[in-house]
Chain A
Amino acid sequence: DAGVTQSPTHLIKTRGQQVTLRCSPKSGHDTVSWYQQALGQGPQFIFQYYEEEERQRGNFPDRFSGHQFPNYSSELNVNALLLGDSALYLCASSRGQRGNTIYFGEGSWLTVV
Protein backbone atom coordinates (compact mmCIF):
# COMPACT_ATOMS: atom_id res chain seq x y z
CA ASP A 1 0.00 0.00 0.00
CA ALA A 2 1.70 3.16 -1.21
CA GLY A 3 1.62 6.07 1.14
CA VAL A 4 1.35 9.68 0.10
CA THR A 5 3.48 10.26 -2.98
CA GLN A 6 4.70 13.60 -4.25
CA SER A 7 6.48 14.77 -7.39
CA PRO A 8 8.91 16.10 -8.24
CA THR A 9 11.21 15.57 -5.28
CA HIS A 10 13.46 18.50 -6.13
CA LEU A 11 13.21 21.39 -8.55
CA ILE A 12 14.77 24.75 -9.23
CA LYS A 13 12.80 27.68 -10.62
CA THR A 14 13.60 31.27 -11.47
CA ARG A 15 11.96 34.21 -9.73
CA GLY A 16 8.72 35.16 -11.49
CA GLN A 17 8.09 31.70 -12.90
CA GLN A 18 5.24 29.40 -12.04
CA VAL A 19 5.45 25.91 -10.53
CA THR A 20 3.09 22.94 -10.20
CA LEU A 21 3.60 20.26 -7.58
CA ARG A 22 1.67 17.00 -7.53
CA CYS A 23 0.38 14.70 -4.84
CA SER A 24 -1.28 11.29 -4.79
CA PRO A 25 -3.00 10.53 -1.48
CA LYS A 26 -2.75 7.30 0.41
CA SER A 27 -5.14 4.64 -0.82
CA GLY A 28 -8.62 5.16 0.62
CA HIS A 29 -8.02 8.81 1.51
CA ASP A 30 -10.17 11.58 0.08
CA THR A 31 -8.84 14.72 1.76
CA VAL A 32 -5.59 16.40 0.77
CA SER A 33 -3.79 19.27 2.47
CA TRP A 34 -0.69 21.21 1.48
CA TYR A 35 1.99 22.67 3.74
CA GLN A 36 5.04 24.87 3.27
CA GLN A 37 8.09 24.31 5.44
CA ALA A 38 10.90 26.84 5.34
CA LEU A 39 14.30 25.80 6.59
CA GLY A 40 14.41 25.54 10.37
CA GLN A 41 10.68 26.07 10.85
CA GLY A 42 7.64 23.87 11.35
CA PRO A 43 5.28 23.20 8.44
CA GLN A 44 2.72 25.94 7.74
CA PHE A 45 -0.77 25.01 6.51
CA ILE A 46 -1.57 26.34 3.02
CA PHE A 47 -4.97 24.82 2.22
CA GLN A 48 -7.10 21.68 2.28
CA TYR A 49 -9.13 20.04 -0.48
CA TYR A 50 -12.11 17.76 -0.04
CA GLU A 51 -14.62 16.73 -2.69
CA GLU A 52 -12.65 18.74 -5.23
CA GLU A 53 -13.16 22.01 -3.38
CA GLU A 54 -10.89 24.15 -1.24
CA ARG A 55 -12.33 23.79 2.26
CA GLN A 56 -9.86 25.63 4.45
CA ARG A 57 -7.03 28.03 3.80
CA GLY A 58 -4.11 29.27 5.83
CA ASN A 59 -2.48 32.67 5.63
CA PHE A 60 -1.10 32.42 2.12
CA PRO A 61 -1.61 34.82 -0.82
CA ASP A 62 -3.67 34.08 -3.89
CA ARG A 63 -0.48 33.22 -5.77
CA PHE A 64 -0.91 29.84 -4.10
CA SER A 65 -3.73 27.85 -5.65
CA GLY A 66 -4.66 24.24 -5.93
CA HIS A 67 -6.85 21.64 -7.44
CA GLN A 68 -8.20 18.25 -6.51
CA PHE A 69 -9.13 15.72 -9.16
CA PRO A 70 -11.91 13.10 -9.09
CA ASN A 71 -9.36 10.42 -8.17
CA TYR A 72 -8.48 12.56 -5.09
CA SER A 73 -5.00 13.47 -6.32
CA SER A 74 -4.07 17.10 -6.03
CA GLU A 75 -1.87 19.84 -7.44
CA LEU A 76 -0.38 22.90 -5.81
CA ASN A 77 0.34 25.84 -8.10
CA VAL A 78 2.44 28.83 -7.17
CA ASN A 79 2.56 31.81 -9.52
CA ALA A 80 5.02 34.68 -9.71
CA LEU A 81 7.61 32.87 -7.61
CA LEU A 82 9.56 34.82 -5.04
CA LEU A 83 12.87 33.91 -3.47
CA GLY A 84 10.97 33.45 -0.20
CA ASP A 85 8.92 30.66 -1.72
CA SER A 86 11.96 28.41 -1.51
CA ALA A 87 10.89 25.66 0.87
CA LEU A 88 9.87 22.05 1.32
CA TYR A 89 6.27 21.60 0.17
CA LEU A 90 4.46 18.80 1.94
CA CYS A 91 1.26 17.05 0.99
CA ALA A 92 -0.85 15.25 3.59
CA SER A 93 -3.89 13.03 3.17
CA SER A 94 -6.62 11.65 5.37
CA ARG A 95 -10.00 9.98 5.20
CA GLY A 96 -12.61 12.64 5.82
CA GLN A 97 -12.01 15.99 7.37
CA ARG A 98 -11.95 15.35 11.06
CA GLY A 99 -10.30 13.22 13.64
CA ASN A 100 -8.60 10.64 11.46
CA THR A 101 -4.93 9.89 11.05
CA ILE A 102 -3.18 12.27 8.67
CA TYR A 103 -0.25 10.99 6.67
CA PHE A 104 2.42 13.15 5.07
CA GLY A 105 4.46 12.62 1.94
CA GLU A 106 8.22 13.17 1.78
CA GLY A 107 7.76 16.55 0.13
CA SER A 108 8.98 18.49 -2.86
CA TRP A 109 12.01 20.70 -2.39
CA LEU A 110 11.58 23.96 -4.31
CA THR A 111 14.48 26.35 -4.77
CA VAL A 112 13.77 29.74 -6.34
CA VAL A 113 16.82 31.54 -7.73
Chain B
Amino acid sequence: DAKTTQPTSMDCAEGRAANLPCNHSTISGNEYVYWYRQIHSQGPQYIIHGLKNNETNEMASLIITEDRKSSTLILPHATLRDTAVYYCIGSNNNDMRFGAGTRLTVKP
Protein backbone atom coordinates (compact mmCIF):
# COMPACT_ATOMS: atom_id res chain seq x y z
CA ASP B 1 0.00 0.00 0.00
CA ALA B 2 1.13 3.52 -0.74
CA LYS B 3 2.68 5.59 2.02
CA THR B 4 0.93 8.94 2.40
CA THR B 5 2.15 12.21 3.87
CA GLN B 6 -0.19 14.78 5.40
CA PRO B 7 0.33 17.96 7.42
CA THR B 8 0.03 17.36 11.13
CA SER B 9 -2.57 20.04 11.70
CA MET B 10 -4.59 22.72 9.97
CA ASP B 11 -7.06 25.42 10.95
CA CYS B 12 -10.04 26.64 8.97
CA ALA B 13 -12.60 29.37 9.57
CA GLU B 14 -16.20 28.27 9.89
CA GLY B 15 -18.08 28.66 6.62
CA ARG B 16 -14.93 28.69 4.53
CA ALA B 17 -13.62 25.86 2.37
CA ALA B 18 -11.17 23.49 4.01
CA ASN B 19 -8.53 22.13 1.64
CA LEU B 20 -6.61 19.17 3.03
CA PRO B 21 -3.56 18.04 1.02
CA CYS B 22 -2.07 14.58 0.80
CA ASN B 23 1.08 13.37 -0.91
CA HIS B 24 1.15 9.77 -2.16
CA SER B 25 4.06 9.75 -4.59
CA THR B 26 4.53 5.95 -4.31
CA ILE B 27 0.94 5.09 -5.14
CA SER B 28 0.58 2.33 -7.71
CA GLY B 29 -1.75 2.42 -10.68
CA ASN B 30 -4.42 0.22 -9.13
CA GLU B 31 -4.48 1.82 -5.68
CA TYR B 32 -7.43 3.96 -4.73
CA VAL B 33 -7.12 7.13 -2.65
CA TYR B 34 -9.45 6.99 0.35
CA TRP B 35 -10.31 9.72 2.84
CA TYR B 36 -11.69 9.04 6.30
CA ARG B 37 -12.16 11.21 9.36
CA GLN B 38 -12.34 10.37 13.02
CA ILE B 39 -13.96 12.39 15.76
CA HIS B 40 -13.08 11.80 19.42
CA SER B 41 -11.98 8.19 18.88
CA GLN B 42 -15.29 7.19 17.38
CA GLY B 43 -15.07 4.80 14.48
CA PRO B 44 -13.53 6.33 11.34
CA GLN B 45 -16.15 7.82 9.04
CA TYR B 46 -15.87 7.28 5.30
CA ILE B 47 -15.74 10.52 3.31
CA ILE B 48 -14.83 9.76 -0.28
CA HIS B 49 -12.52 7.72 -2.50
CA GLY B 50 -11.27 7.78 -6.07
CA LEU B 51 -8.86 6.18 -8.50
CA LYS B 52 -8.02 8.68 -11.23
CA ASN B 53 -10.89 11.07 -11.74
CA ASN B 54 -12.02 13.80 -9.41
CA GLU B 55 -14.95 12.78 -7.27
CA THR B 56 -17.69 14.66 -5.46
CA ASN B 57 -20.36 13.57 -3.03
CA GLU B 58 -22.59 15.22 -0.46
CA MET B 59 -19.73 15.55 2.02
CA ALA B 60 -16.72 16.60 0.02
CA SER B 61 -14.79 16.77 -3.23
CA LEU B 62 -11.63 14.85 -4.03
CA ILE B 63 -9.16 16.31 -6.49
CA ILE B 64 -6.45 13.90 -7.68
CA THR B 65 -3.53 15.26 -9.70
CA GLU B 66 -3.00 13.85 -13.17
CA ASP B 67 0.18 12.04 -12.10
CA ARG B 68 -1.71 10.69 -9.05
CA LYS B 69 1.12 11.68 -6.74
CA SER B 70 -1.05 13.93 -4.62
CA SER B 71 -4.64 14.76 -3.86
CA THR B 72 -6.72 17.35 -2.04
CA LEU B 73 -9.85 16.82 -0.01
CA ILE B 74 -12.17 19.82 -0.11
CA LEU B 75 -14.89 20.46 2.46
CA PRO B 76 -16.75 23.29 0.71
CA HIS B 77 -18.30 24.99 3.74
CA ALA B 78 -16.61 23.83 6.93
CA THR B 79 -18.64 23.73 10.14
CA LEU B 80 -17.54 23.28 13.74
CA ARG B 81 -18.66 19.64 13.49
CA ASP B 82 -16.02 19.04 10.83
CA THR B 83 -13.30 19.34 13.47
CA ALA B 84 -11.64 15.91 13.37
CA VAL B 85 -8.54 13.97 12.34
CA TYR B 86 -8.58 13.37 8.58
CA TYR B 87 -6.79 10.37 7.11
CA CYS B 88 -5.65 9.94 3.51
CA ILE B 89 -4.96 6.32 2.56
CA GLY B 90 -3.81 4.58 -0.59
CA SER B 91 -5.07 1.02 -0.95
CA ASN B 92 -6.07 -1.55 -3.55
CA ASN B 93 -7.22 -4.39 -1.33
CA ASN B 94 -9.38 -2.87 1.33
CA ASP B 95 -6.82 -3.00 4.15
CA MET B 96 -6.54 0.56 5.25
CA ARG B 97 -3.03 1.53 6.39
CA PHE B 98 -3.65 4.64 8.46
CA GLY B 99 -0.95 7.23 9.09
CA ALA B 100 -1.10 9.99 11.65
CA GLY B 101 -3.56 12.07 9.64
CA THR B 102 -4.26 15.81 9.73
CA ARG B 103 -5.98 17.31 12.73
CA LEU B 104 -8.38 19.88 11.28
CA THR B 105 -9.72 22.49 13.67
CA VAL B 106 -12.63 24.61 12.42
CA LYS B 107 -12.78 27.88 14.31
CA PRO B 108 -15.78 30.20 14.74
Contacts and interface: CB of A to CB of B under 8 A. Distances in A.
Interface string B65-91: 000000000000000000001010000
Contact of B49 (A44, A88, A96, A101): A101
Contacts, number: 64
- Chain B contact-residue range equals 20 to 34
Interface residues of A, number: 30
B95 interface: yes
A90 B43 contact: yes
Interface of A: 4, 31, 33, 35, 37, 39, 41-45, 48, 56, 58, 88, 90, 92, 94, 96-107
Task: Please list the 8 inter-chain residue pairs (A to B) with the smallest Cβ-Cβ separation, ordered nearest first.
Answer: A42-B98, A104-B43, A106-B43, A104-B44, A45-B95, A43-B98, A56-B95, A94-B94
Given A35-B96, A98-B92, A99-B32, 18 more contacts: A33-B95, A33-B96, A39-B41, A41-B100, A44-B98, A45-B97, A58-B95, A90-B43, A92-B44, A92-B96, A96-B94, A97-B93, A97-B94, A98-B94, A101-B46, A106-B42, A106-B43, A107-B42
